[in-house]
Structure 1
Amino acid sequence: MKRLSIMFCLLLLPFSAVQAEEKLLTQELIWEIERIGSPLISPQGGHIVAPVTSYDMDSDEGATRLWLFSEDGEVQRPLTAEGQRVSNAVFSPDGSKLAFISQRHKDEEGQIYVLPIDEPGEAYRVSDVPTEAYGMKWVGEHFYFISRVWPDKDWDEIKERRQHEKDSNVSAMKWTALPYSQFDHYLDENRQAHVFRIPVEDGDSTDAIEAITQPMGIELPRSSQGTSSYDVSPDESWIAFNSNSSDNQVNPEIDIFLARIGSDSAENLTAENTAPDGNPLFSPDGQTLAYTRQQIAGFYADTANIVLMDMDSREQREISGDWDRSARGLVWLPDSSGFYAAIDDAGTSRVYHIDAQQGHVSAITEETNFSGLSVADNGTLIASNESFLHPARLVRINPNSGSVTRLDSINDELLADVSLGTYESVTYEGHDGQEIQMWVHYPPGFDDSKEYPLFLLIHGGPHSAITDGFHYRWNAQTFASWGYVTAWHNFHGSSGFGQDFTDAINPDWITAPYADTIAAADWFKEQSWVDSERMVAGGGSYGGYLSTILLGREHPFKSLVIHAPVYNMYSQMSADFAVHSERFGDYWDQPEIYQDISPHYFAGDFETPALLIHGQQDLRVPVGQSFELFRTLQSRGVESELIYFPDENHWILKPNNSVYWYNEVQDWVERWAEPGSR
């Protein structure tokens, strides 16, 4: 059996002594950590900016500041004031100024602000967008941004409409077509998302706003839009953007459109592909447009390949079709010869170099997760780096050697005396004899001569592998600090292990992941340091679904934690995502699929005690799913509890609610599996 160890300072004290004397990574401490977001390096190098978010437990709110760093790690200071929210930072082409989105003073909506970098000065506002600016880019002499507008109204009429909405006592919403929601918010179908621009100078007026996509009558995807939804060529001649090319909003066909800026028409570059095409990126020399292409409609985790289009000849070629990984997190190299990318690869988000000519790929980094890549014209590559044992850090990467230099010291003082456990990657034989990768976390002071309880975590998605990063909502090291061996197994369906592995569970969501889960439990039973009589499991979203499947099947777990589960495939039709309908058909056309995999059909066998958790604002898996499951368990006399958050969505995001969530989970698992070694 192959075992790849990634060990960090194993402490030899008994767990009880560690718990009594050492500082642990508790649920409260997690919310003291300052969270570094994706960094950005100035075009000429030298200046690096990253958002840093901190949370206040008394106000139950977070605030984000922009921090300035340098390539040599000598500079580390805040740029923006405390207590405000900032996002979407971009440098000017010459690197002397920084623009960002913020809502300050009397702003009704988020606006564009500019801050000098090379000289003293305060941030000043440069936009006046009644419907908010977001998804901003600084290209040439203009700021480009997205705003959701009423397409039949001018800016004065939009201002009046916004004021009317604020003054109105009517809360009703009306839809004539899908989509009507996205994760945690409802959509106004009368508004459309379009790209606009304003001049860098003298843009602080609605008269200065120029509509780019609106004259074409082609809106950006209705459910979600951002900086990856469009790109502008370096000379500001062209815009490439995403849109739904189909009149069918239930199952949209997301394509790439290309238009000259100032035109009233656009060309659909990907009309022949019914699966999603996205992430348009012009090369720095403006000669090539890159985008990602999937091939299976209705399968969001289908492998995304890179397509390059020559802007002169319009010739398109796919360069990554032979590589069994999805192209994500792409940034062009300064010389337009290829890309750096942060790739989900076998349980780790690695940095890769991808050659634009031949499509040759080579890994630059090995262990721990990297994301948020940014590269300067001089080739300096920066990123954020995290692992299960440390939150995101700002780093510089040597593309030739893969060596990493840290550029920040944020959180060092806070975490200096925290006792952490260890973790490692193991593999075991799962469904059909295939190798399954699993992360195993050991508590502080782990002693392999003793026995520990197991808390097996089941990830969501289902096509979202657990990679070597710091997780705030389901932190395995926090669970381990309670006195549990904790594990994440990347069962069949997980991303980053190849197309066949990821697609192996469609449409049968049960067979392979269930077998992989039981095989994981069997692997732990064989370890001398696990007490097979003290095993619990749980997960959220799809992890909640699979935990619900366990309710009605044989398993070794004394209790389950079930967060935001898909329980009833029929009522899941009320969500913003109806699972299999687009690819495999609706339940009235393919009833056997839904009968085979919907947990509510197995309710007659439910026996395991379960803690259920759900948020009212969850529109991805509506809260009724947990209410149905709770009534089922209570009707069957199964010991169960339901925790309901009226102000949370698919995730528990507010600091005090999160601490409460962790405390309740801890109380529940300790009730059924006593923590600590024996």
Structure 2
Amino acid sequence: MRILLSLLFLVFGASVASADDEKTPLSAEVLWKLERAGAPVVSPDGTMVVVPLTTYDEDNESETRLWLLANDGSGAQRPITAEGSAASSPVFSPSGAQLAFISKRNEDEAGQIYLLPTAGPGEASKLTDVPTGVSGLRWEGEYLYFISSVWPEHSWEEMADRLKAEEEDHISAFTWSEMPYSFFDHYLNEDRKNHLFRIPAAGGDVEPVTEPLGMAMMPAGTGAGDYDVSPDGKHLAFVTTSTPGAVYSNGDVFLVELGKKKARNLTSDNPANDYGPMFSPDGKQLAFARQRIAGFYGDQAKLMTYSMASGDTQMHHEDWDYGVSGLVWTPDSSGFYGAIDDKATRRVYSISLDGNAPSPVTKENDYGALSIADNGVLVAQRQSALHPVRIGTVDTQSGDFNRLDAFNDEVMATVDAGTYESVTYKGHNGADIQMWVHYPPGFNPRKEYPLMMLIHGGPHGAISDNFHYRWNAQTFASWGYVTAWPNFHGSSGFGQDFVDAINPDWTTKPYADVMAAADFLAQKKFIDEDRMVAAGGSYGGYLSSIILGKENPFKALVIHAAVYDLYAQMSADFAVNMERFGPYWENPEIYREQSPHYYAKNFNTPSLVIHGQNDLRVPVGQGFELYRTLQTKGVESRLVYYPDENHWILSRANSLHWYGEVRDWVSKFAEPGGK
């Protein structure tokens, strides 16, 4: 049962036991003591699981090592890579006798492929010496495949010389003559292209794979999920754009017989994105995901298969009102397991190709990062709002989770993390809206508490049952607040109509949903409606800026990385609604009605504005513009600027500072604690 079935008593007047005095709240300092487990990888025989584990020290430094977990009931776990050298992207050899990973060691100028035996002790050996570095690692047959951002038609020696020359010439300029020019937190060098390469696992020369085709992979965000090699090693499927240099790129799946010079576009008939190619274990089918609305990143992804024999493409479960994600083939090639966004919980689903409807395997908590062995052992991450990622196996019949790790148990044993529950209330036009409500440790429903309303980003995502490091609702609650995350209109996992209900009007329904959430909670006896604040980041910052210009019950706002001026988003790597609904000179009414800066005359709510210099998703000028507006109007406000952070606040020291600034601000206007 969900964590807080008992809270249904609690919030309507039942008594509550006092918090354990020996335990401490889930503070920001505790968050940075926790080890952060990455995506697990299971060995082909299902007996071993390798997981990257990242730790942080008080000097603001992080380290990621690979840990080996035994799937034999012993509970054995041990690090298998050395201290002091980061390791990532583990992949097992087909036999399971070796593990490949990416690391930067000794004299390496960029990440390289290293090999490690799994049968017993041994030192890692270096396989590559690629000056431009490696990423997107896969082990297919006798080869290791990887992606590198290179200067096409240049030798490795020439590229090494060019890198050295760039380092020494002290010229910092970028030049562009096409799109895109940036991605999230870094600028792109359009002279360099993402290409796929391979190298024999036994050692030898690096061979170009996509460069002879005259086709680069996607210019940004490219990884191991953007290509696959057939089990017999004869075919390559990869994702790239059929319109390179276009302002808006459309990802397509291409298929080529390795060694041939021409790839075939399998998805040219679809104007929206196709991605995530995966060959079936028997090599007879190629699966991929398809969106059908061009320019809508939140569109549901549908499952597609391409028959290698007939060349026919088929869509599966078209009427299933969920998007597919996190897919792995079953070993018998009959279907998939996926981590599916399902009404604010990411569940493991079984998705067959025989016409039967997809069915959930798990019930509670969030699952993700699925990895499956040749014998069907399914490994996953599991997390909840009360505990960070755990690694274990999932029983595909019962849904039971068998935990394999013991990461963070010692720290979490000292934490009183409070409680939480899922509630449903009536939002815009009486629609049902799901919301997570978090209660502080020692919560007493006979007292009145301040409310901290949290507004999620996206907007086409959802707050699910997970453990958030950057915006941890239980950490906010530990300060003495009831915190709430509503999944307003536009959130994913509640059906296609719900997710697309706010386009192109990003304002009306989400604003109404948040106001309805505040009113719903204000009616509870344990909420002090005179102590209500709200905080949001990214789209949540946008909606907070909208709230700033409209009637609202909040005593103060926290506005992080806000889209404040829709016109200024032309300078970002993502221009809101531009591709789908047209630019402001064609449809000016969209921008006039939806841009928060047009409502500045109504601003009167004290606001904390936060922004990072390296934020290219929402450029930093948006934050400065909002702050100057607030100051000009005489609205009490504070600007927190991070010159070395991006859309997210990622370093330990800055994160602790961020939590401190937020706590000080909301406490000033809504005194924490029950009264």
TM-score by length of 2: 0.97
SS at match of 2:579: helix
Work out the CA distance in 2 between the residues paired with 1:630 and 1:298: 31
Task: Report the counterpart of residue 68 of structure 1 in structure 2.
Answer: 68
Work out the CA distance in 1 between the residues paired with 2:528 and 2:184: 39
Task: Report the counterpart of residue 391 of structure 2 in structure 1.
Answer: 394
**Structure 1 residues 542-589: Cα deviation after superposition (integer angstroms, max 9, x where no partner):** 000000001111110000000000000001110000011100000011
Q: 1:84: how far off? A: 1.9
Give the one of 620, 623, 626 matched to 2:623.
Answer: 626
Task: Report the counterpart of residue 264 of structure 1 in structure 2.
Answer: 261
Q: Kindly indicate whether residue 222 of structure 2 is the aligned counterpart of residue 221 of structure 1.
A: no
Task: Report the counterpart of residue 163 of structure 1 in structure 2.
Answer: 164
Q: 1:152: how far off? A: 2.7
Q: 1:14: how far off? A: 8.6
Aligned AA (2:401): V
Aligned length: 670
Task: Report the counterpart of residue 447 of structure 1 in structure 2.
Answer: 444
- Percent of matched pairs sharing the same residue: 56
Task: Report the counterpart of residue 669 of structure 2 in structure 1.
Answer: 672
Work out the CA distance in 1 between the residues paired with 2:244 and 2:371: 37
**Structure 1 residues 340-399: Cα deviation after superposition (integer angstroms, max 9, x where no partner):** 100011000000000023263010001100001111111111101000000000111110
SS at match of 2:148: strand
Task: Give the conservation status (yes or no) of the 8 Å contact 1:461–1:541.
Answer: yes
Task: Give the conservation status (yes or no) of the 8 Å contact 1:484–1:676.
Answer: yes
Q: 1:22: how far off? A: 3.5
Root-mean-square deviation over aligned CA pairs = 1.7
Q: Kindly indicate whether residue 74 of structure 2 is the aligned counterpart of residue 77 of structure 1.
A: no
**Structure 1 residues 21-43: Cα deviation after superposition (integer angstroms, max 9, x where no partner):** 63111001100000111111101
SS at match of 2:415: coil
Task: Give the conservation status (yes or no) of the 8 Å contact 2:10–2:445.
Answer: no
Task: Give the conservation status (yes or no) of the 8 Å contact 1:442–1:486.
Answer: yes
Detail structure 1 runs of 4+ shifted over 2 Å in the superposition. Answer: 3-15, 17-22
Task: Give the conservation status (yes or no) of the 8 Å contact 2:3–2:420.
Answer: no
Task: Report the counterpart of residue 42 of structure 2 in structure 1.
Answer: 41
Q: Kindly indicate whether residue 463 of structure 2 is the aligned counterpart of residue 462 of structure 1.
A: no
**Structure 1 residues 602-632: Cα deviation after superposition (integer angstroms, max 9, x where no partner):** 0011010000000000000000000000000
Aligned AA (2:190): E
Task: Give the conservation status (yes or no) of the 8 Å contact 2:450–2:529.
Answer: yes
Task: Report the counterpart of residue 142 of structure 2 in structure 1.
Answer: 141
Work out the CA distance in 2 between the residues paired with 1:4 and 1:113: 43
Q: Kindly indicate whether residue 252 of structure 2 is the aligned counterpart of residue 255 of structure 1.
A: yes
Work out the CA distance in 2 between the residues paired with 1:285 and 1:467: 35
- Structure 1 pair 488/606, CA: closer, same or farther in 2 (3 Å)? same
Q: 1:167: how far off? A: 1.3
Q: Kindly indicate whether residue 374 of structure 2 is the aligned counterpart of residue 377 of structure 1.
A: yes
Task: Give the conservation status (yes or no) of the 8 Å contact 1:4–1:426.
Answer: no
Work out the CA distance in 1 between the residues paired with 2:442 and 2:642: 35
Aligned AA (1:137): R
Considering Cα pairs closer than 8 Å and 6+ residues apart, tell me whether 1 or 2 has the greater RCO: 1
Q: 1:270: how far off? A: 0.3
SS at match of 1:505: coil
Task: Report the counterpart of residue 421 of structure 1 in structure 2.
Answer: 418
SS at match of 1:447: coil
SS at match of 2:501: helix
Task: Report the counterpart of residue 591 of structure 2 in structure 1.
Answer: 594
SS at match of 1:483: coil
Q: 1:673: how far off? A: 0.3
Task: Report the counterpart of residue 233 of structure 2 in structure 1.
Answer: 236
- Structure 1 pair 19/638, CA: closer, same or farther in 2 (3 Å)? farther
Task: Report the counterpart of residue 367 of structure 1 in structure 2.
Answer: 364
Task: Report the counterpart of residue 93 of structure 1 in structure 2.
Answer: 94
Task: Report the counterpart of residue 120 of structure 1 in structure 2.
Answer: 121
Q: Kindly indicate whether residue 544 of structure 2 is the aligned counterpart of residue 541 of structure 1.
A: no
Task: Report the counterpart of residue 176 of structure 1 in structure 2.
Answer: 177
Work out the CA distance in 1 between the residues paired with 2:40 and 2:220: 26
Task: Give the conservation status (yes or no) of the 8 Å contact 1:39–1:372.
Answer: yes
Work out the CA distance in 1 between the residues paired with 2:119 and 2:262: 41
Q: Kindly indicate whether residue 318 of structure 2 is the aligned counterpart of residue 321 of structure 1.
A: yes
**Structure 1 residues 181-216: Cα deviation after superposition (integer angstroms, max 9, x where no partner):** 10001100011101100001123xxxx011111111
SS at match of 1:231: strand
Work out the CA distance in 2 between the residues paired with 1:354 and 1:21: 46
SS at match of 1:448: coil
Q: 1:77: how far off? A: 0.8
Work out the CA distance in 1 between the residues paired with 2:570 and 2:460: 20
Work out the CA distance in 2 between the residues paired with 1:444 and 1:660: 23
Aligned AA (2:27): T
Work out the CA distance in 2 between the residues paired with 1:393 and 1:316: 37
Task: Give the conservation status (yes or no) of the 8 Å contact 1:7–1:422.
Answer: no
**Structure 1 residues 622-673: Cα deviation after superposition (integer angstroms, max 9, x where no partner):** 0000000000000000000000000000000000100000011000000000
SS at match of 1:504: coil
SS at match of 1:643: strand
Task: Give the conservation status (yes or no) of the 8 Å contact 2:504–2:590.
Answer: yes
Task: Give the conservation status (yes or no) of the 8 Å contact 2:22–2:414.
Answer: no
- Structure 1 pair 7/146, CA: closer, same or farther in 2 (3 Å)? farther
Q: 1:178: how far off? A: 1.3
SS at match of 1:555: coil
Task: Give the conservation status (yes or no) of the 8 Å contact 1:13–1:445.
Answer: no
**Structure 1 residues 79-122: Cα deviation after superposition (integer angstroms, max 9, x where no partner):** 11122211110000001110000000101110000000002210
Task: Give the conservation status (yes or no) of the 8 Å contact 2:539–2:563.
Answer: yes
SS at match of 1:114: strand
Q: 1:249: how far off? A: 2.2
Work out the CA distance in 1 between the residues paired with 2:657 and 2:15: 29
Work out the CA distance in 1 between the residues paired with 2:178 and 2:5: 50
Q: Kindly indicate whether residue 503 of structure 2 is the aligned counterpart of residue 506 of structure 1.
A: yes
TM-score by length of 1: 0.97
Task: Report the counterpart of residue 285 of structure 2 in structure 1.
Answer: 288
